[in-house]
Structure 1
Amino acid sequence: DRARKQELQSEDLEEVFLPLRDAPYLDYFLSCKIYVAFEDGVLAGFIGFRPGSLNFIYVDPTHQNKGIATELIKKVLTELERPVRLEVFTDNERAKTLYRKFGFERVNTITEKWSDEFPVVFSQDTMELR
């Protein structure tokens, strides 16, 4: 939850944050194949994916900048057939730099509102690895 909150805060979307256990996409998340990373016995991050897509990747802020996300992505990319797509907030340059390191390229950008309950406008890029 801390990593998701960090991501949303960086986009001025804090008001839409919900803990994962309460999120409307929890069932979708649980339908993904999920790998977790531990550091010193503590859950440090996770990645969720489905055929053709990386759907969730989060590393707890206290464990960032240690190569955990890189290792999770490396593992998953050995299992996924190309092309592989992902979505990322347009202004999340830190994440996009990581994805570009693996060869992902932006193929589309959309701007939309979050929901009727939270009519906040945001922009996200679709990136693809061929």
Structure 2
Amino acid sequence: MIRTFTSEDTDAVIAIWQSASELAHSFLPADFMIEAERLTREVYLPQAETWVFVRDGAIVGFIGLIDAYIGGLFVDPSHHGEGIGRALVDKAVAEKGSLTIEVFVDNAIGRRFYTAYGFTGDKQVSDPHSGFPLLQLTYEVTA
């Protein structure tokens, strides 16, 4: 089930963000990740339109959008490969249409997922916070 995020979901969502980030973003420095967690909790979650995926009463994934930009998509690593990420992006496409995202070049898990979903793009930019390269991707909805 996918439902709208509420502030009561914050701790569960942050726990998923942490475990998924440890796996997909292991290349990022620890001090950067500490600040990223703070910003996710205090700034990004309150500003984004966020949906959570709930299975058996527990949140196992979430997606945060700013308009049609995916600010974050994270699934509990113990649930990878179960279609949760795809379901969350399907929900975003249904609500917003075409989508964009920036994914770290070194995030092989994320890049593989977005490519399999149908996102395309090869423009690289530098992340203003970490300095690491990002790949800008787009998913175009065709009529």
TM-score normalised by length of structure 2? 0.72
Task: Give the corresponding residue for 1:31.
Answer: 47
Identity fraction in percent? 23
Residues matched between the structures, number: 123
Which sections of structure 2, spanning at least 5 residues, go unmatched? 1-17
Of 109, 114, 132, the residue aligned with 1:122 is: 132
Aligned to 2:14: none
Contact 1:55 1:86 in 2 (8 A): yes
Confirm or deny that 1:73 pairs with 2:96: no
| Larger helix share, 1 or 2 | 2
How many angstroms does 1:25 deviate by? 6.9
* CA distance in 2 between partners of 1:62 and 1:19 (Å): 25
Instruction: For 1:54 and 1:37, locate their aligned partners in 2 and report how far apart those are by CA, in whole Å.
Output: 15
Query: Once the two structures are superposed, what CA deviation does each residue of 1:28-81 show, in whole Å capped at 9, x if it has no partner?
Result: 332111110122222111001122211111011222221111111111111113
Corresponding residue SS for 1:17: helix
More displaced stretch, 15-24 vs 42-51? 15-24
Letter in 1 for 2:34: L
Distance 1:42 1:20 in 2: 24
2:33 aligned with 1:54: no
Structure 1 window deviating more from structure 2 (19-28 vs 73-82): it is: 19-28
Is the CA contact (8 Å cut-off) linking 2:49 and 2:64 kept in structure 1?
A: yes
For structure 1, which runs of at least 5 residues remain unmatched after alignment? 116-120
Instruction: Name 1:118's counterpart in structure 2.
Output: none
**What is the aligned-residue RMSD (CA, Å)?**
2.4
Supply the distance in 2 between the matched residues of 1:59 and 1:19 (Cα, whole angstroms). 20
Partner letter of residue 114 of structure 1? Answer: H
Tell me the distance in 2 between the aligned counterparts of 1:35 and 1:2. 18
